Amino acid sequence: MSGTRVIKKYPNRRLYDTEQSRYITLSDIRKLVMRGSAFQVVDSNSSEDLTRAILLQIMLEEESGGQPLFSAKMLAQIIRFYGGTMQGMFARYLEQSLSLFTQRQSQFPNLLSKDPLHPMTELAQHNIKIWADVQQNFLRAAGFADPKAKDE
């Protein structure tokens, strides 16, 4: 079966994989994520998309055990963006940064063996460019002049 795999969540909190016709666990969904499989978790009654909630639940489990990815300070900073004017732009910035990091991740072993600072410097420069673009879009949307435009 091609396309997006559908996982149904039942009121008893059980998850049912419609492709494999069997109940699965959060651990099984984590494996789908790690393989890069496309899936969607839906409520069995309302068909509401629950994918984000399930992914957040998996992240919470990951953060609770072993070595966490996010520090308390970082989580507090992320929470401060909720409801603010920069929420959408911050989300796009994070998504683009993670996409770039993922693309570069496969190249790191080769790049690091030659010059370990170069790929990290390049990644940082690209992130700075993304952030500058986000700020310019925000300023334009807020009605402020482009700081690079010349006074006429």
Give the tens place of pLDDT for each residue, 96-149. 888 877 877 776 666 656 666 776 787 778 778 877 877 777 677 767 766 555
Q: At 90, give phi and psi (nearest 5°).
A: -65, -40
Q: How far apart are CA 99 and CA 95, in angstroms?
A: 6
Contact 97, 130 (CB under 8 A): yes
Which amino acid makes up residue 61?
A: E
Mean pLDDT score of the chain: 84
Sequence spans of domains, the chain: 5-64, 72-141
Residues 6+ apart with CB under 8 A from 68: 62
The pLDDT, as a whole number, for residue 26 is 95
What's the whole-number mean pLDDT along residues 74-97?
87
Element holding 78 (H helix, E strand): helix 72-81
What Rg do the C-alpha atoms of the chain give, in angstroms?
20
Q: How far apart are CA 55 and CA 29, in angstroms?
A: 8
More confident residue, 144 or 39: 39
pLDDT of 25 strictly over 90: yes
Work out the pLDDT band at 1, boundaries 50, 70, 90: very low
Q: How far apart are CA 113 and CA 103, in angstroms?
A: 18
Contact 43, 50 (CB under 8 A): yes
Residues 6+ apart with CB under 8 A from 57: 26
More confident residue, 132 or 7: 7
Whether pTM exceeds 0.85: no
Q: How far apart are CA 99 and CA 93, in angstroms?
A: 10
The pLDDT, as a whole number, for residue 14 is 96
Contact 54, 9 (CB under 8 A): yes
As a whole-number percent, the residues of the chain with pLDDT over 90 amount to 45
What's the whole-number mean pLDDT along residues 30-58?
96
pLDDT of 152 strictly over 60: no
